[in-house]
Amino acid sequence: MQEKERPYHHGDLKRVIIETALDMLREERGWQFTLREVARRAGVSHAAPYKHFPDKGALLTELALLGFAQMRQELAAAIETAPQNEVRRVFFAMADAYVRFGAANPALYRLMFSADAGKIHDLYLSEIPMATFGLLLAILERGQQQGVLRQRPVQGQAAACWAQVHGFTLLSIDGLLLPEKVGDNAFEAALTTLLEGLEG
């Protein structure tokens, strides 16, 4: 005698589960992901998710992929807002968007780079993350062609950028960039150092 007579077959439970999980990732700061809790919140029995995901790791992997997709989108958008001929500003815009994404979605970002899902690793070679990395390579190449950046193997420079921004994002998420340690506007400072290393 329930008011909302939900049909026995949910329709698109898979999407709902993913959506719910993403919501919880946004809300729960503590991040201890529980499949049963997701099911509960989705208003479905605790075993229902198993009809759509072989196991917990599969769901996590899918969430991570969605995270990469969203991040790539935001990075690309941020890049376009900058004047394309000024490499420095393009670069800054990208880095800023990157860290901002991490700060806005800490649990998701953590998940994306967490080995929790186990076999996520094959996935880092997959298209979306690779494409994101490609954005960075393109900027660096352009910068070198314009003579703004040092002539170095772009892959190495890309590694430097990636490590720096990734590290900064994680430290920031973990709340370790305390002013006592690192001063205020640590982000600008760190990015400046990185840029000065890239520039000729």
Partner DNA sequence: GCCTCAATGTAGGCACTGTCAACAATATTT
Partner DNA sequence: AAATATTGTTGACAGTGCCTACATTGAGGC
Token look-up 């970002």 returns 109
Among the listed residues 1, 2, 3, 8, the single contact to DNA using CB under 7 A: 8
Are 51 and 39 within 8 A, CB to CB? Answer: no
Q: Is 177 in the site for DNA (CB under 7 A)?
A: no
Outline where 82-178 has alpha helix (H).
87-104, 106-112, 127-145, 154-173
Minimum Å gap between C-beta 47 and a second copy is 22
Q: Which residues pair with 199 in a beta bridge?
A: 149
Minimum Å gap between C-beta 25 and DNA is 13
Residue 125's binding partner, choosing from a second copy, DNA, none, with beta-carbon cut-off 5 to 8 A by kind? a second copy
Cα 172 to its chain centre, rounded Å, is: 14
Sign of CA dihedral 80, 81, 85, 91: negative
Token look-up 């590694």 returns 159
Residue 158's binding partner, choosing from a second copy, DNA, none, with beta-carbon cut-off 5 to 8 A by kind? a second copy
Considering the complex, state which of residue 138 and residue 176 has its C-beta at the smaller distance from a second copy.
Answer: 176
Site track for DNA across 44-83, x = CB under 7 A: xxxxx-xxx-xxxx--------------------------
How many residues bind to DNA according to rule CB under 7 A? 23
Residue 188's binding partner, choosing from a second copy, DNA, none, with beta-carbon cut-off 5 to 8 A by kind? a second copy
Q: Is 4 in the site for DNA (CB under 7 A)?
A: no
Residue 122's binding partner, choosing from DNA, a second copy, none, with beta-carbon cut-off 5 to 8 A by kind? none
Considering the complex, state which of residue 8 and residue 27 has its C-beta at the smaller distance from DNA.
Answer: 8
Are 72 and 132 within 8 A, CB to CB? Answer: yes
Q: Give one word for 5, left, alpha or beta, with left for phi > 0 and alpha for psi -120 to 50.
A: beta
Q: Is 113 in the site for DNA (CB under 7 A)?
A: no
Residue 127's binding partner, choosing from DNA, a second copy, none, with beta-carbon cut-off 5 to 8 A by kind? none
Share in percent of the chain as helix, strand, coil (round to 5): 70, 0, 30
Are 149 and 91 within 8 A, CB to CB? Answer: no
Query: Where on the chain is the footprint of DNA (CB under 7 A)?
Result: 7-11, 13, 33-37, 44-48, 50-52, 54-57
